[in-house]
Amino acid sequence: MIGAEIFIEPGQTEAETETWFQRLQAHHLTVTRIRMFESYMHQPGGSWDFSLFDRAFILAGKYGIRVYANLFPATDFTDIGGFKFPDDEAHLQRIALYIEQVVNHFKDFPALYGWVPVNEPGAGKLPQSPLTGQKFAAWKQQQPDTLYNDLGYPYLHFDEERFLLDHNTWFLAWLTDEIRKYDPHKPIHVNNHQIFSNVAEYDFPAWRSFLSSLGGSAHPGWHFGYFNRSEYALAVSANSEIIRSGAGTIPWFMTELTGGNMTYSGSRDIFCPTQEEISQWLWACLATESKGAIFWCLNPRMSGMEAGEWAMLNYQNEPSDRMQAAGEIAGLVNTHADLFACARTDESGIHILYTRESLWIEARFSPVDASDEARRPGGVMQSALAYFETLSQLGVQANLKEIREFDFSKDSYRNQALILPHTIALPSSYWQSIVHFVAKGGKLIADGLTGYYNEHAFCILKACPLQELLGGRVSEFKYTANRFTVTFNQPPVSLPAHAWLGTIRPDTGTVVATYHDVPIALRNRYGDGEVFWTTALLGLGARIERNYRPLAALLEQETAEILQQVSFRFREFQKGMLMKTLVSGSTYITVIINKSGEQRTAEVLVRPPYGNNRIFYANKGGSIQGTIITIYPEETLVVEWG
């Protein structure tokens, strides 16, 4: 399922359109997505003319290209992404009519593979519209009329954020139901966007009940504001892990990857991916169980916003080096389809968790222009990303999950670790789940202001419901400095930290770090498991300094037993590199990406030893001797073991 989106608009000739499908086929790209613009079908007098899109579907069938039809009801010509919610009841009914017309007309085309009901759901904030207002009022009437908690303190309600979560689910489910009235069988897929900030409004587990697959858009120019260019491969990897976790038992694939130049669009610097970056991003997705990816886009649209941008073909419809790179990988994957069809992530047992309540509270409380990163919106997510980036440079695959996506129902969590990085809000409904995880043999690692609030932004430090688990409690948090260093004695390592430190009053826990003789970290045995807890913002400190090596040393110590079970990882921390591992039957596939800016030689630690390996893909001449790899700057090296 690797392909590129074909952009259909009036003025295109049949010969030109056919050329685009020919280009896809010639480069082993077997899938496309087409925006089904109502404004190009629905005539002013009320009639419908589908001929522009009929031609595309017929040509797709001719060249064996599967089509995802992306519903795109009428909107302003300058609206490049499409609206996210209907304005009023009349608008909703116009959308229903559009779906009836389009689905009934195109459902029997042989090239049609599936439907995308809306482009990039996720509004960022509650929209101000009559229909949303009516539904919000009805929703509030159904909520418990509780103003105070059990201790008599008033609640701070996050009604808008909670409603937006439900409102997104309602609209997606409504769109799906409308499609199913006329086409009960074709797959239905959706691509969320701006994942690192919008994720708090996505209830992925609820979506699984009506979606066939989950996807996303991953555009550095729009979505990767927390990263610099040398980190975009890591960003795609983290983005992919969040979607993989959200998908759960249904498949996922990356719906949009940047295919070409951004001239005036995007919210960041002028940017055009290199052929090496195309390879890195595509392999990062595939190594995270993605069933493929669609590049935005194949041909440049010629009018309106984004005119002339993003394309993998040039203006003479010739393939760029970016398209050639994608085509080479697509051909390789197609040739080994059986290998990739059943490939699964080789789980490490390490899970980085975040909570949507932490993101809500941070967004509500934090000043956008604060001088300290921890005080700006994004500090919570960047803390989680820091641990993900650190483990990636150890060559360790880590899950990146919202707390509701983790399975707390097991009887044993031996060789499993949960990381709660600066998780400022822990929902009360999960306190006992976390206790259960540790009691049954799991390792809990927590840093920063983890557990400062409950789901209502009520400070729980005074009551300290997790004191027995943590082995102590916080007496107060104090701002220390924007950047400072803390030293741990078990293991002996100094790490960059940021902003706050909490003074810990130990109980059953053993002090493993102090700052000016004040305890700031404990290790505590609880049941069959263990907790490592520090009030220092180690993740955010590492990310601000772009110095992950000390945090890596700490994590290697704290997860040593778990790492003994990991099949493949780097023997030593590799700055600027990442490795992800798939397993397919008895075969392992390691994807290694070098963003360090220099040629590197590294040893892959293999457990148990695999005598046979071969280079599956190398786009810069990289090699392997035994378990020693040589990889060049910007190279992606894929090794098959078995």
Write out pLDDT tens, residues 302-338: 999 899 999 999 999 999 999 999 999 999 999 999 9
For residue 122, the Cα-to-chain-centroid distance in whole angstroms is 14
Q: What is 516-569 written as a DSSP string?
A: TTEEEEEEEEETTEEEEEESS-HHHHHHHHT--HHHHHHHHHHTHHHHTT-SEE
In the predicted structure, residue 250 carries a pLDDT above the cut 80: yes
- Structure tokens belonging to residue 267: 């919210």
State the Cα–Cα distance between residues 325 and 277, nearest whole angstrom: 9
Contacts of 93 (CB under 8 A, 6+ apart): none
Classify each residue of 65-81 as buried b or exposed e, where b means 16 or more C-beta atoms within 10 Å of its C-beta.
bbbbbbbbbbeeeeeee
Is 602 within 8 Å of 570 (Cβ atoms)? yes
pLDDT computed for residue 368 by the predictor: 87
Look at 147 and 87; give whichever has higher pLDDT: 87
Is 524 within 8 Å of 466 (Cβ atoms)? no
* C-alpha triplet 398, 403, 405: angle, nearest 5°: 75
In the predicted structure, residue 150 carries a pLDDT above the cut 80: no
State the Cα–Cα distance between residues 624 and 642, nearest whole angstrom: 15
- Judged on CB neighbours under 10 Å (0-12, 13-18, 19+), 31 is buried
Share of the chain above pLDDT 70, in %: 100
Is 570 within 8 Å of 600 (Cβ atoms)? no
Helix axes 232-247, 379-393, angle to 10 degrees: 100
| Of the listed ranges 12-16, 266-270, 354-358, 551-555, the one predicted with least confidence | 266-270
Cis peptide before 464 (omega within 30 of 0): no
In the predicted structure, residue 147 carries a pLDDT above the cut 90: no
Q: What is 31-76 written as a DSSP string?
A: EEEEEEEGGGTB-TTS-B--HHHHHHHHHHHHTT-EEEEEEE-S--
Task: Share the mean pLDDT of the chain.
Answer: 96
Local confidence band at 146 (pLDDT 50, 70, 90 cut-offs): confident
State the Cα–Cα distance between residues 116 and 286, nearest whole angstrom: 21
Q: For residues 448-460, give the mean pLDDT.
A: 96
Local confidence band at 489 (pLDDT 50, 70, 90 cut-offs): confident
Share of the chain above pLDDT 90, in %: 93
The neighbouring-strand residues paired with 293 are: 2, 254
Write out pLDDT tens, residues 462-486: 999 999 999 999 999 999 999 999 9
Is 38 within 8 Å of 94 (Cβ atoms)? no
Q: For residues 383-412, give the mean pLDDT.
A: 98
pLDDT computed for residue 355 by the predictor: 98
pLDDT computed for residue 583 by the predictor: 97
Q: How many other C-beta atoms lie within 10 A of the C-beta of residue 228?
A: 12
pLDDT computed for residue 5 by the predictor: 98
Classify each residue of 491-504 as buried b or exposed e, where b means 16 or more C-beta atoms within 10 Å of its C-beta.
eebebbbbbbbbbb
Task: Give the chain's end-to-end CA distance (angstroms, integer).
Answer: 25
State the Cα–Cα distance between residues 21 and 333, nearest whole angstrom: 20
- Structure tokens belonging to residue 589: 């596939």
- Structure tokens belonging to residue 629: 């790899």
Residue labelled with tokens 């691509």: 191
In the predicted structure, residue 145 carries a pLDDT above the cut 90: no
Is 630 within 8 Å of 618 (Cβ atoms)? no
pLDDT computed for residue 144 by the predictor: 83
pLDDT computed for residue 152 by the predictor: 80
pLDDT computed for residue 237 by the predictor: 98
In the predicted structure, residue 149 carries a pLDDT above the cut 90: no
Q: For residues 371-375, give the mean pLDDT.
A: 95
pLDDT computed for residue 78 by the predictor: 86
Q: For residues 163-192, give the mean pLDDT.
A: 98
State the Cα–Cα distance between residues 496 and 503, nearest whole angstrom: 18
Domains defined along the chain, listed by start: 2-335 (3.20.20.80), 350-563 (3.40.50.880), 568-641 (2.60.40.1180)
DSSP E strands, 144-188: none
Write out pLDDT tens, residues 50-98: 999 999 999 999 999 999 999 999 999 888 889 999 999 999 999 999 9
pLDDT computed for residue 24 by the predictor: 98
Local confidence band at 405 (pLDDT 50, 70, 90 cut-offs): very high
pLDDT computed for residue 639 by the predictor: 98
Write out pLDDT tens, residues 12-55: 999 999 999 999 999 999 999 999 999 999 999 999 999 999 99
State the Cα–Cα distance between residues 537 and 524, nearest whole angstrom: 19
